[in-house]
Amino acid sequence: MAALLLASAAFVYTADPLQVFRRSSGAPNMYEAVEYQIPGIARHYPYDAVVTGTSTSNNFTAAELERTLGWHAVNFSVAGSTIAEQHAVLQTALATGKARHVLWGIDPFAFKRDAHENEFPFYLYAGSGWRRAKYLWNLDAIQHGLRTMTLPAGRRTSLDQWSANNVWDRQYTYGRDAVVRAWAHRDAFESQELPPSPAAAGELVDRFMRSLIVAYPETDFRIVMLPPTVLYQKMLLDERREEFDRGVAAGRAVVERTGLLPNVRLYDFRDDPAITHNLDLFKDLVHFSGRVSSAIVEAVAADVRRTGVEEFDRATGRVIAAAAAYPAPGGG
């Protein structure tokens, strides 16, 4: 048994299928579980900017960021990720000294209580030392390494292919009909267990956002409040008011506790009617198309829709008024 364990560890260390210890000497094979690939890419590949967030941030493309902002960016957004997981991603990237810019997409879902926290591979994001030992005896790493060895170089997934696969923009149909269907089935939209008080939200922001921003004063952070449809806000206000209020409190905590830091610029698109009221730009109640992602990047580059605490509060008032006035499809 001891010999088998040592052999397994030696294989993982030598093959290093997730590039935890070193960049692949040949063609890499980056499979779709992004949270397992990010640490190796962050440590061993070139970039000067990082995107993070949930699935609402996946469509910020490297090409758009380079064209508009001049960044050589990589998108490390993880669908369904929490603010703690986004912190781990950014901490790993920033510790390399390569990331001079961060685009951080914020939606309330990142502040949810994570019932699956143990499923995120935090051990891959830890610094060198005993915490990485779990990787050496990881069955998935062994299987991935063996599969990679049997694949010709031309059939392995490159970094460019991996990045393209994480952009889901072209995988879906957008339009009012899709959004109205999502509205009709809104009961299936899982309720989010958000921080129960502004103080609790503030603690999360201090721990996972402010501390990181303060630790890297030379890095430029662009924090963006992302827009759902007006119908999503209407659903929350009419049927889940507590969840709406908690989501607003989390967003306000971000603005209040990071907005005055010298290396932060905050932007708020929650009340932009050109986006939120144009249901043709969405595939459901919250996920917008790459057209919106591009428009947001252009606005950030132009430094418009900047926000602070007072501006955030006024925008929240406009969100409430717009949602209340918007007619429910089908009368309900």
Domain presence at residue 208? yes
CA-based torsion, 68, 253, 81, 134: positive or negative: positive
Q: What share of the chain is helix, strand, coil (3-state, %, to 5)?
A: 55, 10, 35
pLDDT confidence band for 97 (50 / 70 / 90): very high
pLDDT at 27 (0 to 100): 72
Task: Give the closest residue to 29 by CA, choosing from 166, 144, 165.
Answer: 144
List CB contacts of 59: < 8 A, sequence separation 6 or more: 167, 168, 169, 288, 289, 290, 292, 293
Are 239 and 201 in the same domain?
yes
Identify whether the C-beta of residue 51 lies closer than 8 Å to the C-beta of residue 77. yes
Q: Is the pTM of this model over 0.75?
A: yes
Question: What domain range includes position 159?
Answer: 1-105+114-171
154 and 230 in a single domain? The answer is no
Looking at the structure, do residues 278 and 199 belong to the same domain, yes or no?
Answer: yes
- Average pLDDT on 56-64 reads 96
Q: How far apart are CA 49 and CA 35, in angstroms?
A: 18
- Find the range with the poorest average confidence among 43-47, 146-150, 304-308: 146-150
In tens, the pLDDT along 267-303 reads 999 999 999 999 999 999 999 999 999 999 999 999 9
Q: Note whether residue 263 is domain-resident.
A: no
Within this chain, do residues 190 and 99 fall inside the same structural domain, yes or no?
Answer: no
Q: What is the pLDDT of residues 211-232, one digit of tens each?
A: 999 999 999 999 999 999 999 9
Q: How confident is the model at residue 32 (pLDDT cuts 50, 70, 90)?
A: confident
Do 241 and 235 form a contact (C-beta atoms < 8 A)? no
Per-residue pLDDT, 115:
60
Q: What is the pLDDT of residue 131?
A: 57
Task: Decide if 264 is inside a domain.
Answer: no
Task: Name which residue leads in pLDDT, 200 or 113.
Answer: 200
Task: Mark whether 166 and 210 lie in a shared domain.
Answer: no
Residue 236 is assigned to a structural domain of this protein: yes
> Does 266 map to a domain?
no
Summarize pLDDT for 119-165 with one digit per residue, the tens.
Answer: 898 988 887 665 577 887 777 777 877 777 777 877 778 888 888 88
Q: 286 and 56 in contact (C-beta within 8 Å)? A: yes
Task: Please state the separation of Cα 18 from the chain's center in Å.
Answer: 20
Which of 1-5, 20-24, 137-141, 225-229 is most confident? 225-229
Do 10 and 146 have their domain in common?
Answer: yes
127 and 276 inside one domain: no
Q: What is the mean pLDDT of residues 241-256?
A: 97
Together in a domain, 249 and 186? yes
Q: Are residues 288 and 165 in the same domain?
A: no
pLDDT at 302: 97
Pair 166, 309 in one domain:
no
Pick the more confident residue, 32 or 47.
47
Task: Please tell me the total count of domains within the chain.
Answer: 2
Does 53 share its domain with 178? no
Q: Same domain, yes or no, for 184 and 68? A: no
With H, G, I as helix, E, B as strand and everything else as coil, classify residue 103: strand
